[in-house]
Structure 1
């Protein structure tokens, strides 16, 4: 609760927190939008493969031209302005940058960037959840060895869920479940980039008028992003994914504690200690009353009768028994809040959630029957969706992570809803990433 005062003290000593950002897309733009309003928070450099597009992002979020006109990283450092480059290595090599935010959304690039930043002795804020699920536990281990912080990005849902989990445990309640809301029906699972806009109710004219990426939106629609984020939460908190993937239980705010408790207690969970999704639609498409589509939640149990009575006395939303309660956050503002992670890492040496274990994975699962020789097209595409399952199960079948399922060739046929294994595909590139994955598998927790 004292990050702002800690930052003010540093700024008074003329020691601003100095940051490098990789990726100037939507998330990066939101980071930049707030950065200019935070005294003592200096974005020294921004790396993007398309510098011209990065400059457009600065303009879109109302930066004056002179504020991002630095000629080099050292020029930006000295003048308090920002340098734009197409080479992220410039940020790693510059000693004045304390923390790097990885916001590219590309899982393989994200891992390489994070590792390079850690080896350069810089804290890493990993916006790129796809990269985090691929190798986050291994990267976190590398960060600890170097004495730096590897953190989830505050403002994104996994970090907010971790904060709620921490609140439950620090308060002495019994953690039961954690998750997020999502607009989901079972048939959404097989959505493709060609059909996705129908699920949003947008006309062709509205889509043409906007800057929309169909694969990105489809990854939200078909449940892939949910699997990635919930696997990351499991790896950060020690909770588990359900054995057969997320169930997407429909639930409104008033029903969270009734739904997200064990079946033995009248709920929908196979057992306590799981992550899952509160779907905002019923299986028939009806909108759930008081749904938490943009929110995050935890459910927990009172440890004794006295605490149970307090739940009632202070208006906590509970199940019908009064033993189980829920807490939620109704929104998340993604990049607008990510400075909290940067300041926590630099000023406190603490992450806002970190995948410190390999407990869950998001694995590629076929959307249809495909033949040997077909190419998978990754997250949000036509061929695969991601299933969140325990790491023990993923490791046992050598499952193909969703982050490595882009433009990879099948060497034998697969059936709809089949989890694809490494034995099913030809591995021809990115050998370094597969080697890192092998290292992560050694960290599997049962």
Structure 2
């Protein structure tokens, strides 16, 4: 039975739809509200935004009629929708799952941690949070019988679905990744992309995080940590490719490709965007003959390609998976990749770091063990940090370069996560069922 059919059946059985709470009514949040309104058996019961009017506008434009500002719990219980200004207010409401679309690592960490403790399932449209503390949050969720997940619709979850398929049919994974529609510009800032952002009706910081490459690095790190794949090198490879050329591009250098080794995540520029891809490997002569007959090429490397990802349009599928199947769409099972902060310009002692998509830093993906050994600073922790000594443009920040704000929820969770990971053999894949007391 389809998810829609099962959601309707669930509503008939318990007498109400799945109650969804949303953090953030920006571009992604508005799209999510609109989609949920079209799905039977699912109801957007609460929206939290520091600008409450955005929440009211999103709900009303999606056709929600019973929208109020309080008393919140009573409104939700009666089948209405409520708007609040504090994301943590959602934790105490009678809702089933909280979806965070804030894009702010600290907000995501605080909502996820407190929501799990309150018995809610957690779904993130906030990959920035996942690549910083997703391992410990996934541990906590499993031990509490809850679901922690990154949402469908963004590249990591959709690419993981392809990886699962390719593995399930018996192929090895040579590479998996996404297309990027333009070359990286690590110097991009909100000011430099302001005109383009206005034309696209986007937040300039969000667009800057796309253009400077941070978002791509974050997405591929999340994919690596959810699948056990590794990072080919700092910053990945990022060649140009066409869809037709994927299997030739992402194969070992010894066979004419760009890879130093297989079993990695990567990205490419060119017309592969906005799709995701997996390069499967199978040397079996019977299989290669069949694949050639099926117009998949001569092999032994084959491109499996999905030409789209639908962002907030697909995100409600994760709510259904969590509520009906009790499974995550994507969550860390290993910690092979880290996204570290790199100076976007020359930084001077006393400067303040403004975070992802800002004026001061961008992110690059690196091997997690290398990042730990070199004491590189995770991108998701660096907002608000004070620079302690000069850092040249293009240099990864270390813990000696900046003073981090260690009072935040995300900083506390990261310390716990680091202890969990440090207790495990460096060569081992770290299962997400590790005991929190480790």
Which TM-score applies when normalising by structure 2? 0.91
Q: 1:178 to 1:148 in 2, by over 3 A?
A: same
Structure-1 residue corresponding to 2:275: 295
1:432 deviation in Å? 4.1
Q: Distance in 1 between matches of 2:257 and 2:198?
A: 44
Aligned length: 422
Asked if 1:195 is matched to 2:196, the reply is no
Q: Deviations over 1:359-382 (max 9, x none)?
A: 211100112332222222221222
1:126 deviation in Å? 1.2
Checking the alignment, whether the CA contact within 8 Å between 2:163 and 2:176 is kept in structure 1 is yes
Q: After superposition, where does 1:247-396 map in structure 2 within 5 Å?
A: 247-280=237-270, 291-316=271-296, 318=297, 321-396=298-373
Q: Distance in 2 between matches of 1:34 and 1:207?
A: 24
Secondary structure of the corresponding residue to residue 270 of structure 1? coil
1:210 deviation in Å? 6.1
Secondary structure of the corresponding residue to residue 43 of structure 2? strand
Q: Distance in 2 between matches of 1:428 and 1:382?
A: 19
Unaligned segments of structure 2, at least 5 residues: 428-438
1:308 deviation in Å? 1.0
Q: 1:161 to 1:185 in 2, by over 3 A?
A: same
Structure-2 residue corresponding to 1:287: none
Q: Distance in 1 between matches of 2:376 and 2:369?
A: 10
Unaligned segments of structure 1, at least 5 residues: 198-203, 281-290
Q: Deviations over 1:372-408 (max 9, x none)?
A: 2222222122222111001101111121111222232
Q: Distance in 1 between matches of 2:160 and 2:68?
A: 38
Checking the alignment, whether the CA contact within 8 Å between 1:184 and 1:223 is kept in structure 2 is no
Q: 1:267 to 1:49 in 2, by over 3 A?
A: same
Asked if 1:27 is matched to 2:4, the reply is no
Q: Distance in 2 between matches of 1:72 and 1:323?
A: 62
Checking the alignment, whether the CA contact within 8 Å between 1:379 and 1:402 is kept in structure 2 is yes
Select which of 126, 129, 132 maps to 2:127: 129
Structure-1 residue corresponding to 2:57: 56
Structure-2 residue corresponding to 1:84: 83
1:143 deviation in Å? 0.5
1:90 deviation in Å? 3.0
Q: After superposition, where does 1:404-415 map in structure 2 within 5 Å?
A: 404-415=381-392
1:427 deviation in Å? 2.5
1:303 deviation in Å? 4.5
Q: 1:374 to 1:28 in 2, by over 3 A?
A: same
Secondary structure of the corresponding residue to residue 253 of structure 1? coil
Structure-1 residue corresponding to 2:48: 47
CA RMSD of aligned residues (A): 1.9
1:145 deviation in Å? 0.8
Q: Distance in 1 between matches of 2:81 and 2:198?
A: 33
1:357 deviation in Å? 2.2
Q: 1:425 to 1:292 in 2, by over 3 A?
A: same
Structure-1 residue corresponding to 2:149: 151
Structure-1 residue corresponding to 2:108: 110
Asked if 1:222 is matched to 2:212, the reply is yes
Which TM-score applies when normalising by structure 1? 0.90
